[in-house]
Structure 1
């Protein structure tokens, strides 16, 4: 059984992934899914990628084009798109009035996200 956890991503340190993109990993206690919140700035470096996890990308604030299998989906607050397993995808933020705040939900869980983010949080505690 999963551990019950609660928190607030605004009160959690944000991990900088590369210029223009940072994230918070949360719900790390869940057994079968992983969740992240990403903050993506206009003009960030685009990085097409794929992974074996299914994904739901949901925009909370701002706007972006989210490419899935070469097709752009224009997303704004409240919009979402699903990404099937092993399908190339990426986010492109280029004219959003505010940074694009986006939630990603992955299944199955991505233990590498938990491991990397746990190490990041531990490094923040030492500062």
Structure 2
């Protein structure tokens, strides 16, 4: 097993209209490179792994459980496993 993975080799799929996801995961954590077109949305969902990330471009409105927050370029987020969450991109394409 390699400890290193190119984003080109990660599992890639479109999870919703305008939402492209490249993902790798282990037993306890999930890491994704997600690209959203302007105003696109990752629907409400949950997964068993914790998920953490950094907004690389643009901004997102995250809803995690009952909390809602705008997360901008340069800001981190963490989502506990098993908690429902959704994400909506801002007025321009966004990456995290």
**TM-score relative to the length of structure 2:** 0.76
Q: Which residue of 1 aligns with 2:53?
A: 57
- Is the 8 Å Cα contact of residues 70 and 88 (structure 1) preserved in structure 2? no
CA RMSD of superposed structures (Å):
2.4
Q: For the residues of structure 1 that align with 2:79 and 2:49, how far apart are their CA atoms? A: 9
Structure 2: runs of 5+ lacking an equivalent: none
Per-residue deviation, 1:46: 4.3
Q: For the residues of structure 2 that align with 1:31 and 1:3, how far apart are their CA atoms? A: 16
The 3-state SS of whatever aligns with 1:82 is strand
Q: What are the Cα deviations for residues 45-67 of structure 1, in whole angstroms up to 9, with x where unaligned?
A: 44111222212132111111111
Q: What are the Cα deviations for residues 61-90 of structure 1, in whole angstroms up to 9, with x where unaligned?
A: 111111111221111111122212211111
Structure 1: runs of 5+ lacking an equivalent: 103-127
- Is the 8 Å Cα contact of residues 29 and 50 (structure 2) preserved in structure 1? no
Larger radius of gyration: 1
Q: For the residues of structure 2 that align with 1:31 and 1:48, how far apart are their CA atoms? A: 22
Q: Which runs of 4+ in 1 moved over 4 A?
A: none
Per-residue deviation, 1:23: 1.6
Q: For the residues of structure 2 that align with 1:52 and 1:4, how far apart are their CA atoms? A: 22
Aligned length: 94
- The structure that is strand-richer by fraction is 2
Q: 1:3 to 1:47 in 2, by over 3 A?
A: same
